[in-house]
């Protein structure tokens, strides 16, 4: 076997790479390779051609030729085997990866991953913005859809809240009325200062029309609050009562918040009740008075009166009056004169206002069927009951055809409405996807009651020493603050 030259050429015979194994002139090699394409027949199955004293053994390689030039006496089978070996080596060399190529591929792959993460981050950001817009639209009472009722949350004022001054004389009352700065109302987001004559006249007319006119006709020059329901989103600060209260010379507010935690089986796990009694007097001539309390079932709650209240009268006669009866309560200020707090054991409470039982079952992989049942266990009817059920994976499909509900970006708000003996029980069923059933908890419950859970009320108000019964206004607010099913 004699191999004269091995070369890689184009289809036209131009050499790209050639190596000679015998002494040959360059011109001779170029001439032989230039004549090779004329001899090669693309339609033929043969890979050898002969010319004069040489033989061309070749193999197509994409758009090139791998060519061996041998003498005519060479063993053609060995030449073909050698040709295949050359072709395999060339492919191996072309397929070899360099260190720089691997680095470039890693850099390109990292850039693709970074771009993918950036797309996911932006998509998540857009989803969060969409949820925030949905919440804002619900909170702002957007047009075109049902509005979920909002409910108050009650926070008792701290111990350092407005307290009774040491002396109650006309000079102090006048000074407080003229120069004290009005505190901002937490519920309305506005300030009530000294009223103008036109405002007083407008309030008198509105007082004659009743509370309905208050929700429809806001005060001139005062921005309208987002929620205009009778039950405010949060209790107003003690120093800023609602406008219709100011038409009462004496106004009493009984405020209470209920916090409870239920298991999914409907068992009560914890219950806490906080409340207080607030007094506001707008007529300085009526400050020397006493309040007669009507105390029913306190359920073990400890009632605590203000330090300046006569403790003996309070404990023995359920009466609230100052220890020094020659002085009077401060005028034009809402003051906390009594408060209570109850942290009850679960086994001691047999009649919470309302209880919920949740039934969950996995009907397929990561798909759950959930049924929420409620039962009125207390003796008092409830108003504006709403259950907020969270979700995160996919929007639930509600199967309760007669239920009133609203689906937002991250929760299903089931509006039950008023609950009394006529509809003491009910249920709500839906299906949803989730990684686990824990995605739908805790469920939050909101409602309002017309009377406090701790049975405390004011039965009468009278002037000390005269026995004259006085008319007074009263506002009772008992709401669910953190009522959850976990």
3-state helix, strand and coil shares in percent for the chain, rounded to the nearest 5: 25, 35, 40
Q: Which residues pair with 387 in a beta bridge?
A: 414, 445
Whether 337 and 396 share a structural domain: no
Residue 40 is part of a domain; what is its CATH number? 3.30.450.60
Max mean pLDDT range (86-90, 185-189, 261-265): 261-265
Q: What is the pTM of this model?
A: 0.51
* CA 428/CA 386 separation, integer angstroms: 12
Q: How far is Cα 269 from Cα 260, in angstroms, rounded to an integer?
A: 8
Residue 40 pLDDT exceeds 90: no
Same domain, 360 and 375: yes
Q: Specify whether the CB–CB gap between 387 and 444 falls below 8 A.
A: yes
The answer to the question of residue 315 being in a domain is yes
Tell me the per-residue pLDDT of 270-305, one tens digit each, with 9 for 90 and over. 999 999 999 999 999 999 999 999 999 888 898 999
- Return phi, psi of residue 126, to 5°: -65, -40
Instruction: Kindly report the number of other CB atoms within 10 A of residue 173's CB atom.
Output: 20
- The CATH number covering residue 310 comes to 2.60.40.1170
User: What's the CA gap between 419 and 425, in Å, rounded?
Assistant: 8
Residue 126 lies in a domain: no
237 in any annotated domain? yes
Is residue 238 within 8 Å of 155, Cβ to Cβ? Answer: no
Q: Is the pLDDT assigned to residue 6 strictly greater than 70? A: yes
Measured at the CA of 228, the angle between CA 223 and CA 231, to 5 degrees, comes to 130
pLDDT of residue 79: 86
* Residue 65 structural domain: 3-95
Number of structural domains in the chain:
3
Does residue 137 lie in a domain region? Answer: no
Q: Determine the pLDDT at residue 167.
A: 42
Residues 420 and 457 in one domain: no
Say if strands 367-375 and 397-398 run parallel, antiparallel, or are unpaired: unpaired
pLDDT band at 253 (very low <50, low <70, confident <90, very high): very high
How far from each other are the two terminal CA atoms of the chain, in whole angstroms?
89
Residue of 294, 307, 223 whose CA lies nearest to 452: 294
Same domain, 67 and 178: no
Is 426 in the same domain as 329? no
pLDDT band at 375 (very low <50, low <70, confident <90, very high): very high
- Please name the residues in contact with 220: beta carbons below 8 A apart, sequence gap of 6 or more: 198, 199, 202
Residues 286 and 425 placed together within one structural domain of the fold: no
């Amino acid at each position: 076997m004699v191999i004269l030259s091995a070369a890689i050429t184009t289809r036209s015979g131009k050499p790209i790479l050639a190596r000679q194994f015998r002494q040959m002139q360059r011109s001779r090699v170029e001439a032989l390779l230039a004549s090779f394409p004329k001899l090669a027949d693309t339609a033929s199955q043969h890979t050898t051609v002969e010319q004069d004293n040489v033989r061309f053994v070749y193999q197509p390689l994409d758009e090139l030729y791998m060519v061996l030039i041998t003498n005519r006496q060479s063993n053609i089978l060995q030449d073909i085997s050698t040709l295949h070996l050359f072709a395999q080596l060339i492919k191996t060399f072309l397929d070899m990866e360099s260190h720089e190529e691997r680095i470039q591929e890693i850099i390109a792959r990292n850039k693709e991953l970074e771009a993918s993460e950036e797309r996911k981050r932006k998509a998540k950001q857009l989803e969060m913005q969409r949820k925030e817009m949905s919440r804002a639209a619900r909170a702002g009472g957007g047009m075109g859809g049902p509005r979920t009722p909002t409910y108050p949350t009650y926070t008792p004022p701290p111990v350092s809240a407005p307290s009774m001054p040491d002396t109650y004389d006309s000079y102090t009352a006048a000074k407080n009325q003229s120069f004290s700065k009005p505190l901002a109302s937490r519920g309305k987001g506005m300030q009530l200062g000294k009223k103008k004559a036109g405002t007083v006249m407008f309030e008198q007319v509105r007082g004659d029309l009743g509370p309905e006119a208050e929700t429809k006709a806001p005060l001139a020059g005062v921005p309208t609050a987002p929620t205009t329901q009778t039950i405010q989103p949060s209790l107003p600060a003690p120093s800023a009562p609602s406008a219709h209260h100011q038409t009462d010379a004496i106004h009493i507010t009984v405020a209470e918040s209920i916090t409870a935690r239920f298991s999914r089986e409907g068992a009560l796990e914890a219950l806490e009740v906080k409340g207080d009694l607030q007094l506001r007097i707008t007529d300085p001539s009526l400050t020397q008075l006493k309040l007669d309390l009507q105390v029913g079932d306190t359920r073990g709650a400890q009632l605590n009166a203000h330090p300046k209240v006569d403790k003996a009268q309070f404990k023995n006669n359920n009466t609230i009056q100052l220890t020094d009866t020659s002085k009077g309560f401060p005028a034009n200020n809402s003051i906390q004169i009594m408060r209570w707090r109850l942290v009850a054991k679960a086994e001691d409470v047999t009649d919470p206002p309302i209880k919920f039982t949740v039934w969950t079952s996995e009907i397929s992989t990561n798909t759950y069927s959930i049924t929420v049942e409620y039962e009125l266990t207390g003796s008092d009817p409830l108003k504006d009951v709403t259950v907020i059920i969270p979700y995160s994976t996919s929007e639930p499909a509600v199967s309760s055809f007669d239920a009133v509900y609203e689906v937002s970006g991250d929760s299903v708000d089931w509006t039950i409405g008023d609950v009394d003996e006529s509809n003491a029980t009910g249920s709500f069923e839906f299906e949803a996807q989730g990684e686990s059933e824990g995605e739908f908890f805790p469920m939050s419950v909101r409602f309002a009651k017309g009377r406090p859970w701790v049975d405390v009320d004011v039965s009468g108000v009278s002037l000390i020493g005269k026995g004259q019964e006085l008319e007074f206004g009263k506002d009772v607010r008992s709401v669910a603050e953190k009522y959850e099913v976990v």
